[in-house]
Amino acid sequence: MRVRAAVLEEFGAPLVVQEVELAEPRAGEVLVRLVACGVCHTDLYTASGADPSGYAPAVLGHEGAGVVERVGDGVRSLAAGDHVVTLFSPQCRECAHCLDPRTNLCLAIREQQNKGLLPDGTTRLSRDGDPIRHFMGTSTFAEHTVMPEIALAKVSPEAPLDRACLFACGLSTGLGAAINTAKVEPGSTCVVFGAGMVGLGAVAGCRLQGAERIVCVDLSAARLELARGQGATDLLQGGPDSVQEILEMTGGLGADYTFEATGSVGVMRQAVEAARMGWGLATICGVAGKGETLDIVPRFLITGRRVAGSSFGGVKGRDQVPQLVDRWLAGELDLEPFVSHRLTLDEVNRGFELMEAQDGIRSVIDF
């Protein structure tokens, strides 16, 4: 079939929206009609050429939600009409990591996905017979996409897909960092650095876990106000003195849990140093620039602070994304403040501009 899609033709140049060819789903694959897709930093990072593992031509996009149209041979967990959220982090339910509760890093299709290929080593996307690669195994800046069954979370048909798409990346990452990675305990004190989609998700996750105090740190006053709406009890303007200020707010000891959601290695260090002696846990969510390293004075670790990294919030996508969506439908989460702009597919580059200007939390493409 012919579908309109936003193609990364050349690094550093705007995406080109055009018609491309999408082949039928093969065994274990699913054809999805996209309804909505968020525009995320990772798309821009790859489009800019900064990502050393990027490839072109490729159809970008990874924060998709849509409806299953057809399934390939052997697909049993999904059928036409099902509502789905796309997963750049799949869950095969069979590999050593999927069978272990300690991680969500499914091993099944990593190698091919990193090359922009579907699990059988080929693409369904093409133009004039030449293959176009699948970005993050998702390629959701398109009217339709073909994806592996194991990379789709079946969500409640009640969930409006124009907001459910937020669960495909940043929101689940932040929520999961608090719920799965840190396992925040009721009554605890938390500090979240960064109030973008990931940080705001972490604030909401700390609230759902019953944290008593949630300090949110950001450079933007407008974003800190959004954090208050998600459950932050204290707001702090970020800067070089953040650690000192947090120590003063917490009786000199620091927080039980800190979260870094900025991508800055300097802030990661602050997150470690603002964690409490004895048991404080710093959870790192941000993606640092190529080659950057995190400096930690070992004394902070010897005296009981711990550091954890969190990819997609430790969320096992097919099991847990539907649960998170249900919590939203039950009224435990307010997603309205996160959708700042609604765009058409043709306006996808405007989504990048808005993100670079830090205008709003998420732009969502409506198909």
Binding site for Zn ion (CB under 5 A): 40, 42, 92, 95, 98, 106, 108, 169
Which candidate in 29, 37, 41, 207 is catalytic?
41
Q: Which residues contact 76 (CB under 8 A, 6 or more apart)?
A: none
Which candidate in 29, 37, 46, 63 is catalytic?
63
Q: Which is nearer to ligand NAD, 181 or 209 (CB)?
A: 181
- Which positions lie near ligand NAD, rule CB under 6 A? 41, 169-170, 173, 193-199, 217-220, 223, 238, 261-264, 267, 285-287, 310-312
Q: Is 62 labeled as catalytic in the residue annotation?
A: yes
On whether the CB atoms of residues 78 and 86 are closer than 8 A, the answer is no
Backbone angles phi, psi at 180, to 5 degrees: -95, -50
Query: What six digits make up the tokens of 9?
Result: 């033709």
Q: Is 165 labeled as catalytic in the residue annotation?
A: no
Q: Is 269 labeled as catalytic in the residue annotation?
A: no
Q: Is 106 labeled as catalytic in the residue annotation?
A: yes
Q: Compute the distance between CA of residue 209 and CA of residue 226 in angstroms, rounded to an integer.
A: 19
Which candidate in 29, 83, 98, 206 is catalytic?
98
**Residue 137 interacting partner from ligand NAD, Zn ion, none (CB closer than 5 to 8 Å by kind):** none
Q: Is 276 labeled as catalytic in the residue annotation?
A: no
Q: Which is nearer to Zn ion, 77 or 244 (CB)?
A: 77
Q: Is 190 labeled as catalytic in the residue annotation?
A: no
- Three-class SS state of 222: helix
In angstroms, the Cα distances linking 21 to 34, 61, 63, 123, 365 are: 16, 17, 21, 11, 21
Helices 242-249, 265-273: axis angle to 10 degrees equals 30
Q: Is 98 labeled as catalytic in the residue annotation?
A: yes
**Residue 285 interacting partner from Zn ion, ligand NAD, none (CB closer than 5 to 8 Å by kind):** ligand NAD
Rounded to the nearest angstrom, the gap between the alpha carbon of residue 80 and the centroid of all alpha carbons in its chain is 26
At residue 69's C-alpha, the angle toward residues 68 and 73, to 5°, is 90
**What is the smallest separation between the CB atom of 106 and Zn ion, expressed in angstroms?**
3
**Residue 172 interacting partner from ligand NAD, Zn ion, none (CB closer than 5 to 8 Å by kind):** none
Q: Which is nearer to ligand NAD, 25 or 170 (CB)?
A: 170
Q: Compute the distance between CA of residue 155 and CA of residue 164 in angstroms, rounded to an integer.
A: 9
The residue whose Cβ lies closest to ligand NAD is 196
**Residue 199 interacting partner from Zn ion, ligand NAD, none (CB closer than 5 to 8 Å by kind):** ligand NAD
Rounded to the nearest angstrom, the gap between the alpha carbon of residue 266 and the centroid of all alpha carbons in its chain is 21
Q: Which residues contact 178 (CB under 8 A, 6 or more apart)?
A: 184, 190, 202, 204, 205, 206, 208, 209, 211, 257, 259, 283, 313
Q: Is 95 labeled as catalytic in the residue annotation?
A: yes
Q: Which is nearer to ligand NAD, 132 or 324 (CB)?
A: 324
**What is the smallest separation between the CB atom of 243 and ligand NAD, expressed in angstroms?**
11
Q: Which residues contact 331 (CB under 8 A, 6 or more apart)?
A: none
Which candidate in 4, 33, 70, 110 is catalytic?
110
Q: Is 40 labeled as catalytic in the residue annotation?
A: yes
**Residue 95 interacting partner from ligand NAD, Zn ion, none (CB closer than 5 to 8 Å by kind):** Zn ion
The DSSP H or E segment spanning 61 is none
Q: Which is nearer to ligand NAD, 119 or 196 (CB)?
A: 196
**Residue 311 interacting partner from Zn ion, ligand NAD, none (CB closer than 5 to 8 Å by kind):** ligand NAD
Q: Which is nearer to Zn ion, 47 or 92 (CB)?
A: 92
Known catalytic residues are 40-42, 62-63, 92, 95, 98, 106, 110, 169, 362
